[in-house]
């Protein structure tokens, strides 16, 4: 791969750069949707030696049972670039983009490598014995509030529907941005069913969501949605974000999409800890605290997050269906009788739906 990349990089750099590329694997403790490869690159520019540490994000091959139906690396690259230009939200600088797949067989782009630490997914940070769990509660709250502030910064980009119109460019559904977002999710679920079978709980969630459409879906409440807004997708230094990562699910819609997601994501890990009779972190990322902090920062009072937490449960369910299908494909597990067996968040989603009257 390095040998193939070298002449391509030479075409992206100034003449006479003569780049050298060294690639290595990246941590797989968090995230599994895209290939992530570390790259150390040296080259010559204006007669001086230059070097840099980068991360290469590459779309997975179709034969690897990818999580998403489509990987628009060009959309991710542009969304990150614009957030970096238009806000103070810390995102990596994005550099060279190859959108066609002609060089390596799949699109890819490079971004700067940033040093920081991440609340772990494996094992979940709510299980204990990690830097976030062991931190002082004041530092945990500092991390929570600074992450909500980053989400608020993303949402404050003016006229997001125009600036990020490319994120909806492939949609054929009509209606509001949230209606189109929901239509994409339904199509994604139906696509996932073909490989792993029909869920019992997700159609129940879909029916409730359709029957209880949120009042917060208004033309005035359209922002850039990070999409995968959870603390496991940020790198931190001194309990504040230094890099907001993982933009595969970026889109347009109400601000409550990201607020519901960050609350739900923590509840998933908290519920898993509870299943193992561990205390977890019950005081972290409570819905009322997230809403209050967001309102203080932005002056905008978010709507109720119930609909958006259940919607997050639907999205998480489809992710689990796809990652489970991949495990079956590679012989890591036997195909379950129901894909619901793959969903670690099923008890939580069932409880939310029951409380909502579904």
Cα torsion 146, 149, 154, 157 to 10°: value is -140
Q: How far apart are CA 310 and CA 291, in angstroms?
A: 17
Give the CB-side neighbour count of residue 133, counting CA atoms within 13 A.
Answer: 18
Q: Which of 145, 217, 228, 246 is catalytic?
A: 228
Asked if 305 and 314 count as a contact pair (C-beta separation under 8 A), the reply is: no
**Enclosing H/E stretch for 63:** none
Most distant pair of Cα atoms in the chain: their distance: 69
Q: How far apart are CA 78 and CA 167, in angstroms?
A: 10
Q: How far apart are CA 335 and CA 65, in angstroms?
A: 14
Q: 108 pairs with which residues across the strands? A: 58, 98
**Cα dihedral 268, 266, 233, 229 sign:** positive
**Cα dihedral 311, 312, 314, 315 sign:** positive
Q: Is 136 a catalytic residue?
A: no
* Catalytically active residues, by annotation: 228
């Amino acid at each position: 791969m390095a040998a193939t990349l070298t002449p391509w990089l030479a075409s992206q750099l100034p003449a006479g750069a003569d780049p050298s590329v060294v690639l290595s694997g990246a941590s797989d403790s968090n995230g599994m949707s895209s290939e992530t490869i570390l790259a150390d690159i040296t080259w010559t520019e204006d007669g001086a030696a230059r070097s840099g540490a980068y991360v290469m994000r590459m779309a997975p091959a179709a034969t690897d049972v990818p999580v998403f139906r489509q990987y628009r690396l060009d959309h991710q690259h542009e969304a990150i670039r614009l957030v970096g230009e238009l806000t103070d939200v810390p995102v990596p600088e994005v550099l060279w983009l190859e959108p066609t797949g002609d060089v390596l067989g799949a699109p890819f782009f490079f971004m700067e490598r940033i040093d920081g630490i991440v609340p772990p997914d494996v094992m979940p940070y709510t299980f204990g014995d990690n830097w976030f769990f062991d931190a002082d509660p004041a530092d945990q709250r500092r991390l929570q509030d600074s992450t909500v502030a980053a989400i608020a910064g993303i949402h404050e980009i003016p006229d997001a529907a125009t600036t990020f119109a490319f994120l909806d460019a492939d949609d054929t559904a009509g209606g509001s941005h949230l209606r189109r977002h929901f239509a994409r999710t339904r199509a994604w679920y139906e696509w996932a069913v073909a490989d792993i079978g029909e869920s019992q709980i997700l159609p129940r969630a879909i029916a409730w969501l359709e029957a209880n459409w949120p009042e917060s879906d208004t033309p005035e409440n359209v922002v850039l949605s990070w999409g995968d807004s959870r603390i496991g997708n940020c790198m931190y230094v001194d309990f504040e974000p230094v890099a907001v990562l993982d933009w595969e699910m970026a889109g347009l819609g109400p601000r409550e999409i990201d607020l519901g997601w960050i609350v739900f994501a923590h509840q998933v890990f908290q519920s898993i800890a509870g299943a193992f009779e561990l205390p977890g972190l019950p005081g972290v990322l409570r819905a009322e605290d997230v809403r209050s902090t967001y309102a203080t920062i932005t002056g905008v009072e978010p709507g109720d997050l119930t609909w958006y937490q259940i919607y997050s449960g639907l999205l998480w369910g489809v992710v689990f269906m796809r990652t489970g299908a991949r495990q079956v494909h590679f012989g890591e597990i036997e195909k379950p009788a129901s894909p619901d067996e793959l969903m670690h968040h099923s008890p939580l989603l069932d409880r939310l739906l029951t409380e909502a009257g579904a």
